[in-house]
A = this chain, B = another copy of it.
Amino acid sequence: VTGEDSQALADGLRSGDRSALARALTLVESTRDDDRLLASDLLARLGPPPGDTVRLGVSGPPGVGKSTFIEALGLHLIGRGHRLAVLAVDPSSRLSGGSVLGDKTRMEGLARNRNAFVRPSPTGSALGGIARRTREAILLVEAAGHDIIVVETVGVGQSETEVAQVCDLFLLLLAPAAGDDLQGIKRGIVELADLVIVNKADGAFEAAARRAAADQRSALRMMRPRAGGWQVPVVLCSALHGSGIDEVWAEVERFVDHQRGCEAFAERRRRQSAAWLWAEVEQELLAALRADPGTRARAGEVGARMARGEITPPATAMELVRGFLGRPDREHGATAADSRRSGGQKR
C-alpha cells in the first residue's frame, strides 16, 4: 500500500466496498512501523467523522450471552434502517495467543447481512494497544457508513476501562444470578456502566432475572449518577427470544438524547480525543528516544550500572531522558539531590 493506494483505500471504504474496509482494518491492527504510517495517512484522508453515530461498548461475564444479545440487537437495528459494525476486543489470552472471540460464526445473522460488518478480535492484541486500534477502527467503519458501532469485550476486568474510553455508552450485560462477585464482575466495572441489562429473562430464569434486576437497581441507587445526572437504568431482556430488545434500544436512545441535551455527549468525545492524543504523544516520544543513537549508547552504559544495582531504574530513566533532550542539568528533571544542594525547602 503506497500513498496513492491509501487514497484508493479511503475512496473504496467510503463507497461501501467491504474488502477495502477489511484491508483498512488490517492496516490499523498492524504494529509494523510502515503500516502505522500508512494507517495514519489513511485516517488523515477520511476527514472529520460523521457526528450522528453512536458507539456502544458491550461487556459482561463469560457465558452471559453477549453474542446472542449483539446479534438480536443488531438485527433489530438493521430492521430500523441502521448500519451496524461490531468490533470485538479480547485481550484475555495474551500469553496463549488464542482467541475464542475470533470466531466470526458466533453472529451468523449479522455476519451474512450486508448492513452489518463484524470484525473479530485480532489475535495477540496487547492491552494498551486495544484503545488505539479500536479508536482507529471506529473511524474506519464510520467512514464506511456504519452509524452504530458496537465494541464488544469479554468482560471480567482488564479491557473494560479501555473500551469505556472509546464509547459513547457502556452497556453491561448480566446473568440472572445473585451477586456481582459470583459473576466475576468487579465493582469498578459496574461503575463504568451507563446501562445495565439482565439477559436470559425467560422461562425458568425469569423470576431470578427480576430479582437480579431489583438487586442491581438498589445497588446502583447507592452510586453517584453518571454525567449530567443520568441515573443508570436496569433493563430485562431475553436475547434468545428477542424480548426486551426494543426496550434496551429505547433506553440507549434516551441516554443519547439526555447526554446530547446536557453537552455530556460531545464532552465525552472531547475527553476521549484528548486521551488518544496523549497516548499517541507518549508512543511517538518513546519511539524517538529509542531510535536516538546517543541514547542507545548511554543506555548500554547506565543499563550495566542499573543491572549491578548501583543505580535505580528511576534514576537511570532520568539520565537517559536528560541526555536525549540535550539538557543534562537544567530545569526539568532536577533531582532531589539538586534541590538538596540548592537548599530545598522544609515541608
* Chain A residues in the interface with B (C-beta under 8 A): 1-4, 6, 34, 37-38, 40-44, 47-49, 61-63, 91-96, 127, 135-136, 139, 156-158, 161, 181-188, 191-192, 223, 270, 273-274, 276-278, 280-289, 291, 303, 306-318, 320-321, 324-325, 331-337, 339-341, 343-347
Contacts and interface: CB of A to CB of B under 8 A. Distances in A.
Contacts of A62: 181
A42 B184 CA distance: 40
B40 A186 contact: no
A44 B311 contact: yes
The 4 A-B residue pairs with the shortest CB-CB distance in the complex, in nearest-first order? A157-B157, A184-B184, A3-B340, A41-B336
A2 B96 contact: no
A316 B135 CA distance: 15
Nearest to A188: B92
Contacts of A185: 184
A336 B188 contact: no
Nearest to A327: B288
A181 B284 contact: no
Nearest to A62: B181
Contacts of A291: 331-332
A337 B44 CA distance: 10
B281 A335 contact: no
Contacts of A318: 40, 280, 284
A320 to B, nearest CB: 6
Nearest to A127: B161
Nearest to A181: B62
B335 A41 contact: yes
Nearest to A283: B317
B187 A92 contact: yes
Contact of A277 (B49, B306, B334): B306
A347 B5 CA distance: 10
A185 B37 CA distance: 38
21 contacts: A1-B347, A42-B336, A44-B337, A48-B309, A62-B181, A92-B186, A93-B187, A93-B191, A95-B191, A95-B192, A96-B187, A135-B313, A136-B314, A158-B158, A158-B188, A184-B184, A184-B185, A280-B316, A280-B317, A281-B286, A285-B286
B321 A285 contact: yes
Given A2-B346, A312-B139, A40 B336 contact: yes
A319 to B, nearest CB: 10
Contact of A340 (B2, B49, B311, B337): B2
A310 B273 CA distance: 12
Contacts of A158: 157-158, 161, 186, 188
